[in-house]
Amino acid sequence: MGAADVIPGVSGGTIAFLMGIYQELIDSIKSVSSANLKLFFKGKFVEFWRAINGTFLVSLFLGILISVFSLARLMKYLLEFHPIPLWSFFFGLILASSVVILRQLDKWSLRNVISLIVGIVCAAYICLVSPSQTPDEYWFIFLSGAIAICAMILPGISGSFILLLLGKYHFVMSAVTELNIPVLCVFAAGAVIGILSFSHLLSWLLKKFYMATIALLSGFMIGSLIKVWPWKEQVVAGAAGSSDAIMVAQLAEEGAPLVDFPVFPGKFEMITGASAHVWEALIFALIGVAVVVVIEVASHRKEAAK
């Protein structure tokens, strides 16, 4: 999950869903409530630990933290020098994961179909929105942490990409690699407040409207495929697909931000003059699919053994 959350466009929530721990994750986070915190302050540490599923939470978040701090440099390197294989792997992983999750739907009711479509449209829109210029003040770092963490636990909605839209991805990643403790503490405080608040809503939705929520989350994953498509063209925001050269030039002169727009491999080669590495992309996409298949088969065998 930590490795996924470092990549703009890939969600740690997707990995949690794929590994079959999503419901437990949401319920465990939700259990860190005022009622259970009273157990801690009364000295009932064992009861508190059990009530919040402490072993699970500590193991998971320790793994995420170790992964973020150890893989941040590697992910930045791969994004810069080997983007096509990396995006292809996650494309295959997310595509196969969305198929696996959609199979949980026992019926295609109108509500489930609408939820799926809403999820796809929302995720696709977020993926095509241009980044914004924002302040580096502590209050905004706190707010960014709260918003990004909510995205990180949603399958298909990348917390890193939300940071990118908020104009804080490179700022936070630099804080991680440079161990800027004040910034990291403020960001973490925002993340804690955000995740504790949002987990209650998610837990309620999964209990009351399980199938519709699964369809919505699957839609988020499918819509996010736009962002992890291996071949992209950087275009001026508001001019994607436009043939009006004058309008594009005018937007560029006005300082309109650049956005990544998905293109076919042939057009990618024509635009960049570089190889699209189609076979390499296909191989890594299949590896991503294979990872999902292996995990799914192992999960079924484990359930059968019970």
Residue 214 lies in a domain: yes
Number of domains the chain contains: 1
192 assigned to some structural domain: yes
User: Is residue 255 included in any domain, yes or no?
Assistant: no
Q: Has this prediction a pTM greater than 0.85?
A: no
Determine the residue type at 280. Answer: E
86 inside domain: yes
Domain interval for residue 299 = 2-231+276-305
Q: Of the candidates 49, 53, 45, 8, which has an alpha carbon nearest to the alpha carbon of residue 26?
A: 53
Instruction: Say how far apart CA 122 and CA 216 lie, in whole Å.
Output: 10
Angle formed at CA 198 by CA 203 and CA 79, multiple of 5 degrees:
110
Tens-level pLDDT at each residue, the chain (306 residues)? 887 777 766 678 878 877 778 888 888 888 888 888 888 888 888 999 999 999 999 999 898 888 877 777 787 788 888 889 988 998 998 888 888 888 877 778 898 999 999 989 988 887 777 666 678 889 999 999 988 888 777 776 667 777 877 778 778 888 888 888 999 999 999 998 988 888 888 888 888 888 888 888 888 888 888 888 899 887 655 555 444 445 445 545 555 555 678 889 998 888 888 889 999 999 999 998 998 888 788 777 776 776
Nearest residue to 31 (alpha-carbon basis) of 204, 196, 207: 196
| Within a domain: 26 | yes
Domain annotation covers residue 203:
yes
- 251 in Cβ contact with 239 (< 8 Å): yes
Whether residue 178 lies inside any domain: the answer is yes
What DSSP element (H or E) covers 169?
helix 169-177
* Residue 299 falls inside a structural domain: yes
